[in-house]
Amino acid sequence: MEKSSLRVAMLGPISWCTPPRHYGPWELVVSNLTESLVQLGVDVTLFATGNSRTQGKLHAIAAAPYSESPTINRWAWTALHISEVFERAREFDLIHNHFDFLPLTYSKLVEIPVLTTVHGFSSDGIFPVYSKYRDLPFVSISLASQRPELNYVRNIYHGISLEAYSFSEHSRDYLLFLGRICAEKGVHDAIELAAKVARPLKIAGIIQDTEYFREKIEPALDGNRVQFLGPIGGQAKADLLSHAFATVHLCQCEEPFGLSIVESLASGTPVLAMRRGGIPEILDDRCGLLVDSIDEAQREFGRLSTVRRRECRQVAEKRFTAARMAREYLEVYRELTGLR
């Protein structure tokens, strides 16, 4: 392997550790990218929490993630975390920002390129920051998520480490919802669909909206037909994915990507999803079912039985590996720095 001369500062989030123990999609992407870049010979310093793990160089200001440590002040440690990267900018050839809009406000204070992967816009309220720094280089994670005002230098789909997922040719009868428990993710719709098609439903993820969970989800939980498993990771998550008949992704928002969809495909499990945002870019009829309503999902549900689980895995192997993602980012790094 030819060692690259590039020195990259990977600015990861600190809501969860990198890689996350259970939930933490941005942290998972950052981990997958960092480890794959290291395998390509890139000198990567990962700025993340102190309990993070990497084969690269780890630099931590926050000892623990603020979402797991109630005594940690989110904004104080966010400020310290971001400023640390930019204060050390002379040590690197490029800063790769995965921390949303705040680091953009430091970008004009350093001489090296600052590349930002836009994982999504949490609200229109943050867009004035993106607009001010619209000429900086950005990478989108789906074409559907792009905003025309920004200078996108590439669209790069997320990639995962296939070794972390257990492929299975055979499934059990349950449906699986995996993700944040909030209204926009359509957990209540997953419950409704499971009842309509007479399938048990397992729900796994963090509760982001406690009122929504209490009012819309908790009353349906019976420990049998509808189960709530809480956050889940590691081998337990891999087993849960690979044994599901299908995963259900009935989001009510314009999903920028849908990392759990790719995780499902890697496990050989087809996906039933709303045709919204970037989802049609990563899922087609070979590996699942795209619908526009719960009624359509019920009508077409039987088609999931015809999906070949091996083909789901093959799509993940061809399109959504961490190695492919890293190679594409490395091309962008070289274009921005002029270095090999």
256-272 pLDDT tens trace = 999 999 999 999 999 99
pLDDT at 4 over 90: no
Q: What is the DSSP-derived secondary structure letter of residue 190?
A: H
pLDDT (tens digit per residue) in 150-205 = 999 999 999 999 999 999 999 999 999 999 999 999 999 999 999 999 999 999 99
Q: Which H or E run includes 267?
A: none
pLDDT at 128 over 60: yes
Q: Which amino acid is at 142?
A: S
> What average pLDDT does the structure give for the chain?
96
pLDDT band, very low/low/confident/very high, at 340 (cuts 50, 70, 90): confident
Contact (Cβ atoms closer than 8 angstroms) between residue 185 and residue 169: no
Instruction: Go through the chain and tell me how many residues it has.
Output: 340
- Hey, what CATH topology would domain 7-161+321-337 get? Rossmann fold (3.40.50)
Q: The whole model's pTM is what?
A: 0.96
Q: What pLDDT score does 122 carry?
A: 84
Q: What pLDDT score does 2 carry?
A: 60
One CATH from 3.90.70.10, 3.40.50.920, 3.40.50.2000, 3.50.50.60 for 163-319:
3.40.50.2000
3-class secondary-structure state, position 65: coil
What value, to the nearest 5°, has the Cα angle with vertex 308 and ends 304 and 311? 125
Q: What pLDDT score does 1 carry?
A: 46
Contact (Cβ atoms closer than 8 angstroms) between residue 339 and residue 5: yes
The segment(s) of the chain belonging to CATH 3.40.50.2000 are 7-161+321-337, 163-319
Tokens of 63: 């000892």
pLDDT (tens digit per residue) in 287-319 = 999 999 999 999 999 999 999 999 999 999 999
Beta bridge partners of 152: 138
Secondary structure E strands in 124-262: 138-140, 152-155, 175-178, 201-204, 226-230, 246-249
3-class secondary-structure state, position 234: helix
Work out the end-to-end distance of the chain between its first and last CA atoms, rounded to an integer number of angstroms. 13
Question: What is the bridge-based pairing of β-strands 152-155 and 138-140?
Answer: parallel
Q: What is the DSSP-derived secondary structure letter of residue 214?
A: I
Measured distance CA(268)–CA(313) in Å, rounded: 5
Contact (Cβ atoms closer than 8 angstroms) between residue 83 and residue 103: no
Determine the average pLDDT of the residues in 95-117.
98
Measured distance CA(319)–CA(282) in Å, rounded: 9
What value, to the nearest 5°, has the Cα angle with vertex 13 and ends 12 and 15? 150
Q: Which of 141, 143, 106, 151 is nearest to 120 (CA)?
A: 141
Measured distance CA(255)–CA(251) in Å, rounded: 7
Measured distance CA(203)–CA(207) in Å, rounded: 11
Determine the average pLDDT of the residues in 119-129.
93
Determine the average pLDDT of the residues in 53-71.
94
pLDDT (tens digit per residue) in 209-254 = 999 999 999 999 998 999 999 999 999 999 999 999 999 999 999 9
